[in-house]
Structure formats: structure tokens, C-alpha cells
Homo-oligomer: A and B are copies of this chain.
Amino acid sequence: MTDPSPRPFRYPVPELGALPDDVREKILAVQEKAGFVPNVFLLLARRPEEFRAFVAYHDALMEKREGLTIAEREMIVVAISTAQACLYCVVAHGAILRVRAKDPLIADLIATNYRKAGLPPRQRAMLDYAMKVATTSYLVSDEDHEALAAAGFTEDEAWDIGAIAAFFSMSNRLANATDLRPNPEFHSIGRR
């Protein structure tokens, strides 16, 4: 049986009232929208400068509305987060993926084995590249970029795929180093 009320992460949970205004307001805005405060915001609030940079970087990559769809961006997160077995990233972004893709099954499939998830060739090529960036980026070569081009991606979209894989490679490690746990709410979101 899993612990019914585990610590959300290795560090003390900060008091909302003691946080800088912009950090607290961001947290309250997310809570307003999601109905709960995702643990990653409480974790990073311990370090306001890092909080701000993380959120800004995240939003630049994940909230962009051109090129990759927002569901595809989340597919990348779920796929590459399995490479570092990141509890928070797989479960929380699995939920977001289900919502954005309007598909209750896709997150479990990609979280287990994206190669056997029955994805169309475009998304398979996207995740092959993302996974290579996440795991063996030192092998990335012109051939990989040509494969993306052949699958219909522009060079700017290639940047997005690589940058999302890179950003969540950071995020996975932050979460694992701090024992960040997903909020229980994430498990059931988007399952219909």
C-alpha cells in the first residue's frame, strides 16, 4: 500500500504567505485553474529566482501556439521522462497529455513504450529524435535532422523538439534529486 499522505518532496514546504508576491500569485493562479497546487510549484518556490526562470523557460517551450501542437509537446515530455523514470513528470504530464490530446489511453502507452504505442509516423519520428536528445545527445547527427525533415518538421520545429527534450531532462533530474511526488489528483485527470 502506498503511503496515503506522503511528503511532496525532500525539502520543507514553504509558507505561501512568506513567498515573494509574483511567486505566490503564480501559484494561486495555477491553483485557480487546476483546482490544486501542483507540487513542482511548491518545490521551486524555495528558490524564487529559479522558480521564475523555470516557469519562463517552461512556458516559452510548452505554451507556444505555432509549429508542434500542444499535445505533441506533452507527448515529448512523457516519452523522455521515462528515460529518467521521473515520477512527477510522467504522472503530471501524463495527465496534461490526456487532456490536451483528448485521448484517455495515450499517456499510459507512451509512458510504457512509445515505440509500440501505434503512433503515426510523424509523431514516431518526433519521439525518436526527442529520445535521442534525452539519452544519447552526443550521437545526434545530420542524419537525425534529415529524418525530422523527412517527417515534415521544419528546422524551428526540430529546435522545439530538442529544446523540450532538453528542458525536461533538467526537470526530471530536479524532481528525482528532490524526491518530488506527483499530486494524487494527476492520476485520474483526463481518463473520462
Given A104-B187, A111-B112, A179-B116, check contact A167 B170 (CB 8 Å). Answer: yes
Given A111-B112, A159-B47, A178-B162, check contact A137 B173 (CB 8 Å). Answer: yes
List CB contacts (< 8 Å) of A126-153 with chain B: 133-134, 137-141, 145
With an 8 Å Cβ cutoff, the count of chain A residues facing the other chain is 73
How many angstroms between the C-alpha atoms of A174 and B162 in the bound complex?
A: 7
Given A116-B176, A170-B166, A176-B140, check contact A60 B56 (CB 8 Å). Answer: no
Q: Which residues of B contact A171 (CB under 8 A)?
A: 166
How many angstroms between the C-alpha atoms of A103 and B86 in the bound complex?
A: 20
Least CB distance, A63 to chain B, in whole angstroms: 10
Least CB distance, A35 to chain B, in whole angstroms: 17
- Does A10 belong to the interface (CB within 8 Å)? yes
Q: Which residues of B contact A179 (CB under 8 A)?
A: 116, 140
List CB contacts (< 8 Å) of A64-105 with chain B: 82, 84-87, 90-91, 94, 101, 103-105
